[in-house]
Amino acid sequence: MDSPVSTQPKLLSQLNERAVLRVLQANGPSSRAEVTRLAGVTRPTVSKAVASLLKSGLLEEFDAPENGRGRPARKLRLGGATSQVIGLVIDSPTCRIVTAGLDGSLRPQTQREFDTPDIYEELVATVIDHIAALSSDDTITTLGAGISLPGLFDYREGRSILSPNVPVTNDRCLAHDIAEQLGLECAVLQESDALCLAERHFGLAADLGDFAMLDASTGIGLGVLINGRLLKGSSGLAGEIGHLPIVPDGIKCGCGRSGCLETVASDTALARLVSHRVGQDLDIEQIVELVQAGELTVTAELEQVSQQLVFALVTTVNLFNPQRLFVHSRMFDLDDTLLGRLIERTESISLAPSFRDCRIERARGSKREGAIAGIIEHLTDSRVSSARPPFQNETQT
């Protein structure tokens, strides 16, 4: 019964399984007939691929009501009830971890948070403890973990190079170390790229092939999607707009230089200014809470930071000519008029034709959604195989 083991049939079944998964990712729950038509392969091929994917937990079959006729039809969807993926966001001062179905449905009730440790081994051990706790239900198979990482990240080596805000990861291969200890598939994404994927899978960029994501939260990063592909640069370092030097003799940046854009135009920059004025260390979350409760006003600081942020917006519009420019920041929660003012100022100093073609919006996606989207893309695109157990180690992307 077993077919002889050889490379080519294995590769073929992987490609067929990938085609089935892509159809379900793009079209949502579908019948076998619909999958067959959309994947452009034969029915027996689809049956074989589906059987293997059902067995591995990547797919589920369920009864869906047929359009008004009351007769349920068997449909396929990406695994949700019996399998899960994990999304991990490494950030400062807090890391977050959450589970989701393979269809991307987040389970917010599973979210856990922990203070970012200063010691690398402690960070790995803490992450592993949380993943183990989130995987303790024997009826649910954990298929992999996606990790959003701040700072400069070398995708070729899977190594963090320089993380000004979370230096504990510098020169470390976090995804590899977690994968090795847990025997779990891991995919890692630089956080701006994670936000791009989040916007595409969960936010406003589902149909966009060209867009940019400016992350002005902890630091300042830029993710750019061109023709549907993330711009990475030769070693994955593209988009480090946050370290453009714009303030001569400015304050020291985590990258080692001074006066970088992210020291004056991010959520962290705002928090620093406000903390200085009130004489108390406040992070952006606390500031948002206080402002929304009417206990603090930050008008002057917000004005100062947003003037600098405009420089990042103009640079992005002029350099990349995106269809859409998303901005990720908690500063929008401090003032409803902020986005409008940023757009107006950007229009007044960017290249007119580039601005005309670009809509600037607040990002909807989050880094945890990006981490989830990253591992789902990784699992459904690069390693689908009926020949291997779901937990087998593999080099992360």
Q: Which is nearer to Zn ion, 58 or 162 (CB)?
A: 162
Q: Give burial (CB, 10 Å; 0-12/13-18/19+) of 175.
A: buried
> Which of 147, 87, 90, 152 has the alpha carbon at shortest distance from 117?
90
Nearer residue to Zn ion within complex by CB, 54 or 238: 238
| HSE-CB for 205 with a 13 A CA cutoff | 35
Report whether 387 contacts 10 (CB < 8 A): yes
Angle in degrees, CA 281, 327, 261, rounded to 5:
60
- Please report, as residue ranges, which positions from 40 to 69 form the binding site for Zn ion (by CB under 5 A): none
Number of Cβ atoms within 10 Å of the Cβ of 115: 10
Q: In degrees rounded to 5, what are phi and psi of residue 332?
A: -65, -25
Q: Which is nearer to Zn ion, 255 or 310 (CB)?
A: 255
The least distance separating Zn ion from the CB of residue 257, rounded to whole angstroms, comes to 5
Q: Which residues are within 8 A (CB) of 70 and not within 5 positions of it... i.e. 6 or more apart?
A: none
Query: Which one of the spans 84-92, 208-216, 235-243, 329-337 is the region binding Zn ion (CB under 5 A)?
Result: 235-243
In angstroms, give the least distance from the CB of 252 to Zn ion: 9
Binder of Zn ion out of 197, 253, 331, 376 (CB under 5 A): 253
Nearest approach, Cβ of residue 43 and Zn ion (Å): 56
Site string for Zn ion, 279-318 (x = CB under 5 A): ----------------------------------------
Which among 66-74, 125-133, 187-195, 251-259 is the span making contact with Zn ion, rule CB under 5 A?
Answer: 251-259
Shortest spacing between CB 263 and Zn ion, in angstroms: 7
**Does 260 engage in binding with Zn ion (CB under 5 A)?**
yes
> Alpha helix locations (H) across the chain?
7-27, 32-39, 43-56, 120-134, 174-182, 191-202, 262-265, 267-278, 284-292, 299-320, 338-349, 352-356, 367-381
> Which residue, 195 or 260, has its beta carbon nearer to Zn ion?
260
Scanning 19-27, 249-257, 294-302, 357-365 for contacts with Zn ion by CB under 5 A, the matching segment is 249-257
* Residue partners of 30: CB distance under 8 A and separation at least 6: 23, 24, 38, 75, 76, 77
Q: Do 169 and 163 contact (CB within 8 A), yes or no?
A: yes
Binds Zn ion by CB under 5 A, chosen from 50, 213, 255, 376: 255
Stretch of 44-52, 233-241, 250-258, 331-339 contacting Zn ion, by CB under 5 A: 250-258
How far CA 219 is from CA of 166, 192, 272, 304, in Å, comes to 10, 10, 12, 16
What spatial distance separates the first Cα and last Cα of the chain, rounded to whole Å?
A: 35
Do 58 and 143 touch, CB atoms closer than 8 A?
Answer: yes
Instruction: Tell me how many residues contact Zn ion (CB under 5 A).
Output: 4
Nearer to Zn ion, 58 or 220 (CB): 220
Stretch that binds Zn ion, among 5-13, 119-127, 241-249, 362-370 (CB under 5 A): 241-249
Q: Please select the residue that binds Zn ion; options are 18, 200, 201, 243, rule is CB under 5 A.
A: 243
Q: Which is nearer to Zn ion, 53 or 253 (CB)?
A: 253
Give the count of alpha carbons within 13 A of 18, CB side only: 14
Give 163 or 380: the residue with its C-beta nearer to Zn ion.
Answer: 163
Q: Is 379 in the site for Zn ion (CB under 5 A)?
A: no
Nearer to Zn ion, 254 or 370 (CB): 254
| List of residues contacting Zn ion (CB under 5 A) | 243, 253, 255, 260
